[in-house]
Amino acid sequence: MKEYIKSHLLDFRTKNKVTQQEIAEKIGVTRQTIFAIEKGRYTPSVALALRLAKFFNVKVEEIFEIIEKN
3 phi, psi to nearest 5 deg: -110, 145
- Count of other CB atoms within 10 angstroms of residue 28: 9
Split into its structural domains, the chain has a count of 1
Please give the residue range of the domain that contains residue 56: 2-69
Beta strands 64-69 and 2-7: pairing type?
Answer: antiparallel
CATH (domain of 27): 1.10.260.40
pLDDT in tens, 35-70: 999 999 999 999 999 999 999 999 999 999 999 987
Whether residue 28 contacts residue 58, with contact meaning beta carbons closer than 8 Å, is answered with: no
Position 48 scores a pLDDT of 98
> What is the radius of gyration, based on Cα positions, of the chain?
12
